[in-house]
Structure 1
Amino acid sequence: MEELRGGYRVLFWVVSVLCGVDLLCMASTWLPGAYTVPEWLVIGLCLAMFPAFFVAMTCSLISGAAAQLMGSRNAGRLGSYVLLLPRALKFAYAGAICLAALGVATGAGTAQDTKADASGYYYTYWDRTANPQHSVRVELTEPAYFEALKGQLRIFSAIPAVLLASSSFLVLASASASAGRTGTAPEFL
């Protein structure tokens, strides 16, 4: 990974750390009891995903990595590039993707747009079978409310984690493509 220099190195580590924090926030939703990580942190990480992914995609377009790795004619190149990654990085990417997939799978069953007010805990849904269609309020107990909230926050952590892991891969591919083009490191692509 000697091709990670300067701005590529900084961007790679920033995106990787954001992905790790996102995965830790998601994993904390599996702990028993109340949700311990503040909601503002999950929302902030979700919002931080957008500029990070945009910058990584821009780097891959500018460096030529996107043209070298994407497309139907280059499917073998993407696979061979993944095989060239260090073993620890392969396991880190596979672990992040598997944890995020598990988070989405376990959060999807319990996630509702839950709300709390003076009358109690509830979620609403649109009843399309009634004539006329109307919104239906479903009352929840306090434990069911916190489980639904945890499922919702689990999904809001898992999806950005996958996009941040993809962003770090794009930054690494961009650094490799740039290093190969400038002749400062061997060409891996």
Structure 2
Amino acid sequence: MGELRGSYRVHFVLAMVLCGLELLCMASTWLPGKYTVPAWLVMGLFGTVFPVFVVALFRGAGGARLMGGANADRFARYVRVLPPALKLTYAVIICLAALGIATGANAAEDAQADASGYYYTYWDRSVNPQRNARVDLTEAEYYAALKAQRRIFTAGPALFYAASSFLVLASASAAAAARTQTTPEDSSGAATPPRPS
């Protein structure tokens, strides 16, 4: 991974650190009791995923060229040459995020709490006129629904952070390959500047 230099390295490390924070927030939803992770942290990590991913997507053509059905074999070849530790890291991230989404999907409700108690609301289409209906929850049900909601809310961005780091790595590899082509080595092994055309 020597191709990760300068801003590529900073972007890659940033994406992986933010992905790790998202996974820790997600893992905290499996702990018993109340949900203790601050809402500002969850919202901040969720909001940061958009600039990190968009910049990774448009950072260089190298990463973008690997995406899409036309380049499926090229993408698979690139994944095969990744270091084993990085392949394992991406596999663990994908599995944990998928587990978080799967376990949170059934129980996730927009749980709320106020002076009247714990509840969630939904749009009741079975009555005419349609209206919001309230479902009261116990404290335990409230925290279970809140944790499931936060689990999905953190698992999705974790996948986007992982994809961002992968795109940055692919872009850095493409940039390194382009530098190698423009600075061929002479017979002594030293890099020579490209000849003027």
Name the residue aligned to 1:21.
21
Determine the structure 2 residue equivalent to 1:49: 49
* AA of the residue aligned to 1:28: S
Equivalent residue number for residue 40 of structure 2: 40
1:131-170 CA deviation, whole Å, 9 max, x = no partner?
2211110000011001111111111100000000000000
TM-score (norm. length: structure 2) = 0.89
Match among 118, 125, 128 for residue 122 of structure 2:
125
SS at match of 1:183: helix
Task: Name the residue aligned to 1:7.
Answer: 7
Alpha-carbon contact 2:101-2:155 (below 8 Å) kept: yes
Q: Which residue is equivalent to 1:141?
A: 138
Q: State the distance in 2 between where 1:39 and 1:154 align.
A: 12
CA offset digits 1:2-57 (Å, max 9, x no partner): 11111100110000000001001000100111112111111100001011001101
Distance 1:71 1:165 in 2: 17
Cα distance between partner residues in 1 of 2:170 and 2:97: 22
- After TM superposition, the structure 1 = structure 2 runs for residues 63-102 of structure 1, keeping only pairs within 5 Å, are 64-67=62-65, 69-102=66-99
Q: Which runs of no fewer than 5 residues in structure 1 stay unpaired?
A: 185-189
Q: Residue in 2 aligned with 1:187? A: none
**Equivalences, count:** 181
CA RMSD of aligned residues (A): 1.1
Look up the match of 2:186. none
Q: Which residue of 1 aligns with 2:110?
A: 113
Percent identity of equivalent pairs: 62
Aligned to 2:156: 159
Contact 2:58 2:64 in 1 (8 A): no
AA aligned to 1:127 is D
| Cα displacement (A) at 1:115 | 1.1
Stretch moving more, 31-40 or 161-170: 31-40
Deviation at residue 109 of structure 1 after TM alignment: 1.1
**Counterparts of 1:117 and 1:47, CA distance in 2:** 26
Moved more, 121-130 or 170-179: 121-130
TM-score relative to the length of structure 1 = 0.93
Q: Runs (4+) of structure 1 moved beyond 3 Å?
A: none
Q: Quote the offset at 1:59 in angstroms.
A: 1.2
Q: Provide structure 2 residue ranges, at least 5 long, that are not aligned to the other structure.
A: 182-197
